[in-house]
Structures are given as structure tokens and as C-alpha cells.
Amino acid sequence: MNTAPATLLRSTAELEALGRADGAVRAVVMTMGALHDGHATLIRAARAAAGPEGQVVVTVFVNPLQFGEAADLDRYPRTLDADLAVASAAGADAVFAPSVEEVYPGGEPQVRITAGPMGERLEGASRPGHFDGMLTVVAKLLHLTRPDAAFFGQKDAQQLALVRRMVRDLDFGIDIVGVPTVRDPDGLALSSRNRFLSPEERRTALALPRALFAARDRLVAQQTLHARARTLPERDGRAAALTRLGEARAAADSQAVALARPTVAPSAVLAAARAVLDEAAGEEVPLTLDYVALVDPADFAAVPDDRVSGDVVLAVAARVGDTRLIDNIPLTLGALT
């Protein structure tokens, strides 16, 4: 592994001139800069995958096609010197940081990647055109960097799903690797946008991870409870079985009684998350909810309430002050059945 500072590349010509040994693995991490430990975790994962003889390239490009408002684009932090230091410390060999003119020499591209129905849900509904712009620049950067593997954070779960779908549908022949979300000790998912939060706004923003963890805990607790209840004699009704287990509250809870079956309904998971988010909406610095949804990770369609098993993603987006935040957590329905 190269222990020298990462080489800064500003042009496609410099990128094309970047050599690598025959058979060496090249891994790429795509970012919009303002790197934090979440990005560093991606770079370290890419470094481990590429190995000591391989090569890790980090791209830093604030893509104008992804921004619906010019003000939001202008506000996005640019910290290239600090980004170089973070990338180097995490094990990157090169940082490709082109200008907008370098990436789009003829102006905004007339031909773009379309995200399709998945790109119109959740984040796509809130930010029309965002995913078309994201996929267009990801496709271009994949062609320019020519990696064997590309690493993306699970925090942007819908983006990760769309990139995987694009690579599969269009036969890119590149391995897309998802890396778990990195969180601060208080639970807030690392994001370049967190720097815009005041202390009071950050306290309110903590409702996002609390909501996700509350839903996860509700799911695990109910699945465990129902699994235990099924070990009792069949003659005891489900509610009676819950009571015998010392779960009088659960037995009396109308929702728990309604769910007294071998599975836990998605609506119960969502209800646990919504309770936390609704409370945060009444804070002095309120949380304004955009969406909270339980979706299929393959296409981000809403999970029907009769879904009894399988992997799902609980996703949330909200605005606190002027800052819009997203978060998610993977869950498995029916894990204990």
C-alpha cells in the first residue's frame, strides 16, 4: 500500500495517466467532498478489498445535476484540502477532484440515465430529478475510473439500491459494495449536512435514529414474545399465552392483541417509529417529517402489511431548521419464526 499522501488529480487526462500494476484491483469511493469518518470508513473498506498491491481512487465532485435548487448547491461545503488529508489517512492512493467543466465539457449532458419507477419513490418524490442526476454522474465516473469495485454507504440506501440496479441492468461488470452506516456516539448518522445543525437542532435531529431504533426494538421484542408464546399449549389463546408469560401490557394492548399471530405486522414497526417522530414534531425546535416508510430493499416499494418475512429497510427523512436529513436501518421480518 502506498503510504504517501494521495495524489490529487484534476483532469481526466491525469486520471487516465494513473497507472496500476497488471492484475491489481482498483476500488473507487465516490463522494461530494466534505469528508468525515463515514467516508473514511468507505475508503478503509476499499483499501482492504484492493489489498496492498491494489489501488484506491476517491472521487470528489459536487454534481450540479443532483441539486434541485441553486442555493442548495451553493451551500454545499467544499473542503478539498481537508478531504485530501482524510483520504490519505484512510489509505487512498489518488483523489480525482475535477471541475464541473471537466466532467461536463459541453454543458449539462443532453443524454442522461433515468432512474425509473424506483427513482420516483421516497427521496425521488421529495427531490424530483435527483436520482437521474446521481446515476448519470456515477455512470460517467465509473467509466472514467474503470474500477473493479465501487463502495457506497448504506446511509444512502436508496442511492445504493439504484446504483446496483443500474450496474446490473446495463451490464457494467463492476462489483457494488455497500458499507454499514457510521454514527456518532449519540446515534446521529454521519453526514456532511450535520455541520449546519445548531446544538438545539441536533438534539431534535436525534429523533431520527431514536425512531429507527425504537422500531427495531419493537420488532425484536414482539417477534421474541410471539416465538415464546407459540411454545405454550395451543389451548391457551394467544392473548392468554402472552399474559402467562408476564406480558400483561402486551396482552392488553389492542395492537399487540391484533398482532397475536406468528408474525409481526409492518404497521406495528412503523407505529413505533412514528411515535418518536410525532413527539419530536412538538419540540421547541420542531422536526418536520418528510416521510417514514418500510420498504423492500430491492425496489423501495412500500412493504404491504401482510408481509410476514424477509429483509426490509425502514427509511426516514425530515427537516430540522433549514437542514434536511435522511437515515435508515435494515430489518428482517420473521427472523424468529
What are 59-94's pLDDT values in tens digits?
Answer: 999 999 998 777 788 888 899 999 999 999 999 999
* Marked catalytic residue, from 36, 39, 130, 226: 39
Nearest one of 115, 118, 105 to 139, comparing CA atoms:
115
pLDDT of residue 234: 59
What is the distance between the alpha carbons of residues 210 and 324, in angstroms, rounded to a whole number?
A: 17
pLDDT of residue 152: 98
pTM value? 0.87
pLDDT of residue 325: 97
In whole numbers, what is the pLDDT of the chain averaged over residues? Answer: 90
3-class SS of residue 126: helix
Rounded to 5 degrees, φ, ψ at 63 are -85, 110
pLDDT of residue 161: 97
What are 237-285's pLDDT values in tens digits?
Answer: 666 665 666 665 554 444 444 444 445 689 999 999 999 999 999 999 9
Which of the residues in the chain have pLDDT under 70?
A: 1-3, 226-264, 336-337
Cβ neighbours of residue 230 under 8 Å, at least 6 residues apart? 241, 262
Give 231's Cβ-side CA count (13 Å radius): 9
Please indicate whether residue 39 is annotated as part of the active site. Answer: yes
Rounded to 5 degrees, φ, ψ at 203 are -60, -40
pLDDT of residue 1: 45
pLDDT of residue 227: 67
Rounded to 5 degrees, φ, ψ at 50 are -75, -30
